[in-house]
Amino acid sequence: MASFEALLFDLDGTLLDTAKDLVQSGHAVREAMALAPLSDARVLSFVGKGAERFVHRLLTDDLDGDAKPDVHAQGMNCFDSVYEQYNGCWAKPFEGVIEGLERLHVAKVPMAVVTNKAQSFTEALLERSNLNQYFRFAIGGDAIAHKKPHPQPLLEAARRLGVSATSVWMLGDSANDAQAARAAGMRVYLLPYGYREGVALEHIPCDGIVQSIDAFAQWTLQSSYRSKAPHGVGGAGTNPALGSDA
């Protein structure tokens, strides 16, 4: 296996549990648009492909639905206003995130965030959660032309880090992360928690499933982050997950 020189991380559902921020914002948009309430789980299933698609889904109650342009514009204005207030209000790092990032930071592993969240909201959330100290930069969903699952933001992150895309590994929680990484020629590891738009983890092809960011950090640093993966790192259709009892 090729070694890696840098790491990319998704944000929502990978580093931070932002479910309540997003769900409460979704409920507020539905209420403001005089639409019937939905369950928390249903609203959360709309998360994953950026604010524009989130609002389309909120307005149509359909993962593939498209609201009328004028209705969508109104919904986006409402979302931006509401989410500016809610962004980070209830967000918290998943277990092992701080410990893992601290280990990697001390070891001077170059790291960046690539997310479909808007750039302004991304930077505000990283600052509010105090995670910005660990990353060279963040690329938000509206920072360049394409969002994940398109590979462009990952390739741009590799360019900014000054390394080859094939020497970068991605950590995420969804098919968006896995598809973008594969298309960019990067290895990708997924966390067992997060927001996957209703897609089961075992149905997402990846290079491994890691139980936490800290488990991943310990593995990489014990074996040197330029060395190859040990036995026992699993993925969809591969070996048992790192940190599991399998």
Residues with catalytic annotation? Answer: 10
Q: How many helices (H) and strands (E) does the chain have?
A: 9, 8
Q: What Rg value do the Cα atoms of the chain yield, rounded?
A: 18
Are 126 and 100 contacting, i.e. CB atoms less than 8 angstroms apart?
no
- 181: CB partners within 8 A, 6+ apart: 8, 151, 154, 169, 170, 172, 187, 188
**One-letter identity of residue 50:** G
What gap in Å lies between CA 218 and CA 227, rounded to an integer? 13
The encoded tokens of residue 98 equal 């701080």
Six token digits for residue 182: 């594969």
Q: Which pair of structure tokens corresponds to residue 13?
A: 């559902």
Among candidate residues 5, 6, 11, 46, the one with its CA nearest the CA of residue 29: 46
∠ CA(78), CA(152), CA(167), 5° rounding?
Answer: 130
For residues 187 and 3, the answer to whether their CB atoms sit within 8 Å is no
d(CA 101, CA 189): 15
**Other beta carbons within 10 Å of 44:** 20
* Cα–Cα distance measured from residue 141 to residue 212, given in angstroms and rounded to the nearest whole number: 24
